[in-house]
Amino acid sequence: APAKAKKIPSKGNNVELSSDGEVEEGSWEMEEDEDGSGEEMVDDYGASSSEDEELLPIEEAALKQKSDRGGLSEDDSEEEEVEEAEEASRQKMGQKEEESPDLQLNLDIDEQFKLPTNEQIEREDILFICDPPDLHIIHQRIKGNMEVLQDFAVKREEGHTRQEYLALLRRDMAAYYSYSDFLLTKLMDVFPLPELINFLEANEVPRPVTIRTNTLKTRRRDLAQALINRGVNLDPLGKWSKTGLVIYDSSVPIGATPEYLAGHYMLQGASSLLPVMALAPQENERILDMCCAPGGKTSYIAQLMKNTGMILANDSNAERLHSVVGNLHRLGVTNAVVSNCDGRQFPKVLGGFDRVLLDAPCSGTGVISKDPAVKTNKDEKDILRCAHLQKELILSAIDSVNAASETGGYVVYCTCSIMVEENEWVVDYALKKRNVRLVATGLDFGKEGFTRFKDRRFHPSLKSTRRFYPHTHNMDGFFIAKLKKFSNAIPQAQKDEEPAVEAATPSTVPDTVTEPQPKKKKLEGSKVDKEQKPPQPALKKRHSLQVQRRPLKA
């Protein structure tokens, strides 16, 4: 039964009520039942109120701890807690120190890299056919192999040569990064091993999105503010560029903003700005962009020329010229003429330019992050085919330049490839075949070009060329060379060597001035013309003018 509460005045205390009816002094005491039994109180749900019987063990321990600390103040208890925490941390540190020698021994054991046997490699090859390879194991093996190769004399395993380690490394990297064995072999020739890993890793990450401000219509500051107001996070591209902006993220499609449609900027990679900066076009010049699609470099040239002079934008692919025309209209370029000709035939079409920009077709080994198919679809024939075409185009570009130009006489050759066969090799070939010399590109960053590669030795002036890599400059792989033409004459000693190149490819036009003459005489059907071939050098200029006029009449 519930206990009854009764107000009982305490002994020696008088209970008085104030004017408000409140009790000023007194006490409340619980009165037991009439029978005087001391039964414990039970609530409505039948729960007992006895603390001793109902306490849990953890509660009893807590009460005991409180009773032990009853004589201590709060500050003393806090100090004791801090001391206990410090002691616990010291004990943990002691345990770690005891365990560290064992852990270090385990690391030393793991660092000892051993080459797998031929049987293990064959077993892995069979497993790779059925199941995908374990990339974690391959990655660890690449790391161990790299450490051995960097200190080969100390860490190498007896009885194994360096070539065996390199062959295993090439095989593992091909499996881990999905490259062909041919391309990895080429890359291992270009880069040192530590730099090669950085290059391969950089190709797995896309390059930052960059745009170029069109100063024909706006300023970079105004464009940046307009894009920031639309929710675009951006920064200036770098101190080397006055027009570039790098886009980190955007809440709107960067290629469909009103500013883009109005022609205030062009989506363009950072590396594509460099060749035009090296070309350094001046106002009122005649400039040829031999391979212009999709028009980013052409519009940048027009921007630097302030729409003065004349730009001939040429490309051999008619389908790609649609994008060139669209971009030139959108960006407000008015000094450009678009043509669809084979660049190798260009000296016969038009010549006498002040400057020529040749962004030659290449294997694309510098833009693997954009086109991962390059990892596996390129072989030796593709590289040599590109190199041969580039040699033809660079000779045509040099022949299209007027060495007597007051402000120009320059050719800028660039590719988005890192292969030596497509870069230094081609430029060295042009130095031997034409009266040109290499000059500084005007770019204050980038790595120097190769003057020696494997068993080949190039001209020492190739140091003035520039290479750009994704892992060092965070832009697409690029090669840039700037040539200055100092004479329009073709060296006599080099003319005699060129027929060998023409025999390999009849469409080649290194001798664009002299080659068309025999064909013209054959059409006339004169037998006497064949006997008069040797004394013809004095009539070169007259015949070249006739050949230039005929395609226009047709």
pLDDT at 515: 39
What type of residue is 148? V
Which single residue is written with the structure tokens 């093996």? Answer: 141
Taking alpha carbons only, the member of 136, 138, 135, 140 closest to residue 112 is: 140
> Is 35 annotated as contributing to ligand binding?
no
| Distance between first and last Cα of the chain | 124
Strand partners, 311: 287, 336
Q: Are 436 and 398 in contact (CB under 8 A)?
A: yes
What type of residue is 1? A
What type of residue is 507? S
**Residue 368 CA: distances (Å) to CA of 4, 120, 317, 365, 515:** 90, 32, 23, 6, 39
Those residues whose C-beta lies under 8 Å from the C-beta of residue 511, and which sit 6 or more positions away, are 490, 495, 498, 502
Taking alpha carbons only, the member of 302, 296, 407, 312 closest to residue 351 is: 312
pLDDT at 514: 37
pLDDT at 542: 40
The span from the CA of 533 to the CA of 522, in Å, is 12
The span from the CA of 536 to the CA of 520, in Å, is 13
> Is 297 annotated as contributing to ligand binding?
yes
Q: What is the dihedral of CA 49, 53, 56, 61, to 10 degrees?
A: 110
For residues 244-265, one letter each, b for 16 or more C-beta atoms within 10 angstroms of the residue's C-beta and e for the rest, the string is bbbbeebeeebeebebbeebbb
362, 386, 414, 416: the active-site residue: 416
Q: Are 480 and 438 in contact (CB under 8 A)?
A: no
> Is 293 annotated as contributing to ligand binding?
yes
Q: What DSSP string runs through 519-552?
A: HHHHHHT-SHHHHTSTT-GGGHHHHHHHHHHHHH
What type of residue is 472? T
Burial of 217 (0-12, 13-18, 19+ CB in 10 A): middle
What is the β-pairing status of strands 310-314 and 244-250? unpaired
Q: Please state whether 340 falls in left (phi above 0), alpha (psi between -120 and 50) or beta.
A: beta
- pLDDT, averaged per 10 consecutive residues of the chain (554 residues), comes to 47 46 45 46 48 64 68 53 62 51 44 66 62 77 84 78 87 90 92 92 93 96 95 93 94 93 95 95 94 94 95 94 95 95 88 94 93 92 95 95 91 95 95 94 93 92 95 94 92 50 36 39 40 43 41 43
The span from the CA of 354 to the CA of 402, in Å, is 6
> Is 359 annotated as contributing to ligand binding?
yes
Q: In terms of CATH, what superfamily is 270-485? A: Vaccinia Virus protein VP39 (3.40.50.150)
Q: Which sign, positive or negative, has the C-alpha torsion 92, 95, 99, 104?
A: positive
Which single residue is written with the structure tokens 């833009």? Answer: 367
Q: What is the dihedral of CA 198, 200, 205, 207, to 10 degrees?
A: 80
Those residues whose C-beta lies under 8 Å from the C-beta of residue 286, and which sit 6 or more positions away, are 309, 310, 312, 352, 353, 354
Q: Are 423 and 417 in contact (CB under 8 A)?
A: yes
Helices (H), 418-463: 424-433
Q: What is the dihedral of CA 119, 121, 125, 128, to 10 degrees?
A: 120
386 carries an active-site annotation: no
- E runs forming strands in 244-315: 244-250, 265-267, 286-289, 310-314
pLDDT at 111: 54
What type of residue is 312? L
pLDDT at 502: 38
- 416: tokens are 């988005």
- 118: tokens are 């031929």
- 101: tokens are 């020698």
Domain 208-267, CATH among 3.10.20.30, 3.30.365.10, 3.50.50.60, 3.30.70.1170: 3.30.70.1170
pLDDT at 136: 84
The span from the CA of 219 to the CA of 225, in Å, is 10
> Is 102 annotated as contributing to ligand binding?
no
Q: Please state whether 32 falls in left (phi above 0), alpha (psi between -120 and 50) or beta.
A: beta
> Is 296 annotated as contributing to ligand binding?
yes
Using DSSP's 3-state secondary structure scheme, residue 7 falls into strand
Q: Spell out the domain ranges in the chain.
A: 118-177, 208-267, 270-485
What type of residue is 316? S
Length of the chain: 554
The span from the CA of 404 to the CA of 144, in Å, is 59
The span from the CA of 409 to the CA of 288, in Å, is 12
The span from the CA of 129 to the CA of 259, in Å, is 52
SS (H, E, C) 20-52: CCCECCCCEEEECCCCCCCCCCECCCCCECCHH
> Is 294 annotated as contributing to ligand binding?
yes
> Is 381 annotated as contributing to ligand binding?
no
For residue 117, the number of C-alpha atoms closer than 13 Å in the C-beta half-sphere is 3
Rounded to whole angstroms, the maximal C-alpha distance in the chain is: 156
